[in-house]
Structure 1
């Protein structure tokens, strides 16, 4: 399942919807509250990482988020 993970609209990356993130976190057996925290954190950052670089692949960012929860 190596499909593109970003949606493009007129040449720009469109952020994921909360429902998409909840679905992804559910697949990983992570509580909805954590999915919401991830979503609202990156939404407040305008979908940029801590270094100001735009997030083009939110699933990779979510995997990093989950990895950091475990460690």
Structure 2
């Protein structure tokens, strides 16, 4: 299966943005760090690929928040 150079770059940026969201970066930070021209362009890609927004992705799949929830309240 072949892909265009633009689609290849889009896929790399999408994967990187997902990883950044998993690390608890804000959606705007993830868009910038992943190389998207704007948050809106990242949101459009997430909607096309996953049918959810980056914020919804982070709530659903963010590993940092899930790990914190699994730990329960701190006992300091």
TM-score by length of 2: 0.28
In proportion to residue count, which structure has more helix? 2
The structure with the largest alpha-carbon Rg is 2
Structure with more of its chain in strand, by fraction: 1
- Normalising to structure 1: TM-score of the pair? 0.30
